[in-house]
Structure 1
């Protein structure tokens, strides 16, 4: 049995992902946190989460296939210019007492990401999919039990020229790329 989490995201290119992993290692050293193995292949900024699906339940497997078809149709219809992704804040999310996500986030520097997400959300909604109105753009570096208070921390990101549909296999630390679409300015 595998639980799948489907989501759209922006992913850094390999050179940027390696640089972000080095930033992650330096943050761990600076704050006395445990350095983790690099997770360059899983670094991303989630745009829209499309649900959790258990492949052992036939109805959920069918629902996942239907959602994927609708999501891919919406993605193909999106016309949006390439998007700059930068970060200016470091913090821990505290939704639980342990294993806290340490993330890069930001304010106005992520407005372009918010706009791109809104445009994709309109397409997903038009395709009949539910979208979550709550959104905190962020890139998770790693998880640790020590909370880090929000603080200014500028990290240059990348120019996102495409966006991705991912199937995250829960408990396996594996992301399966299902689709990739270019960001192209509307005509």
Structure 2
């Protein structure tokens, strides 16, 4: 059985992803953390999570319906390119181990928040629910050591498109299902 997690995201271009992986290495050395080899193709900023579905139950039909509605909502969105920059480093500490170390930020991520809200309006119009809680972030890696929130300026990129991905749980794989321009 495969569990699928559908989500919309902004993904850095390959050059930016490689640079952000270098940031991961620097941060790991600075804090004495262990970082695995970078998975640059998995770096992203999640916009909306659309649920988990397994492919051995009726979830497959539900997932197909959610995907169709999500793709229609994405196609209806009209939004300009989005600047994605970071000014904070921290660990999310909702669990005791394997903590996500993330880049996040304040006003520097307002364009991401605005784009997410616009996409959320389209998703609601299509009949899909979204989570109102949102902390824009890019996960660098996971470690058991917690890093307290601190200023950490990292230039990001200008997103010119957004994607719908299927994350195959436990396989460290993201499958691109769709891509829409931001212009």
Give the corresponding residue for 2:17.
17
- Give the alignment's TM-score, normalised by structure 1: 0.97
Instruction: Report the equivalent of 2:139.
Output: 140
Q: Match of 1:109?
A: 108
SS of 1:110's partner is helix
Listed as ranges, the gaps of 5+ residues in structure 2 are none
Partner of 1:149: 148
* Structure 2 residue aligned with 1:173: 172
Using the alignment, how far apart are the partners of 1:146 and 1:82 within structure 2?
35
Cross-structure match for 1:74: 73
Equivalent residue number for residue 8 of structure 2: 8
Deviations 1:15-48 (A, max 9, x none): 0000000000010001000021111000000000
Mapped to 2, the partners of 1:95 and 1:73 lie a distance apart of 33
Please give the alpha-carbon distance, in whole angstroms, between the structure 2 residues aligned to 1:85 and 1:155: 10
- Quote the RMSD (CA, aligned, Å): 0.4
Provide the aligned length of Structure 1 versus Structure 2. 183
**Residue 41 (structure 2) aligns with:** 41
**SS state of the match for residue 22, structure 1?**
helix
Q: Which runs of 4+ in 1 moved over 2 A?
A: none
Distance 1:139 1:82 in 2: 18
User: Which segments of 5 or more consecutive residues in structure 1 lack a partner in the other structure?
Assistant: none
1:83 corresponds to which residue? 82
Corresponding residue number in structure 2 for 1:30 = 30
Q: Residue by residue, what CA displacement relative to the aligned partner does 1:49-70 show, whole Å, maximum 9, x if unpaired?
A: 000001111x100000000000
Three-state SS of the structure 1 residue aligned to 2:101 is: strand
Structure 1 residue 126, shift from structure 2 partner? 0.1
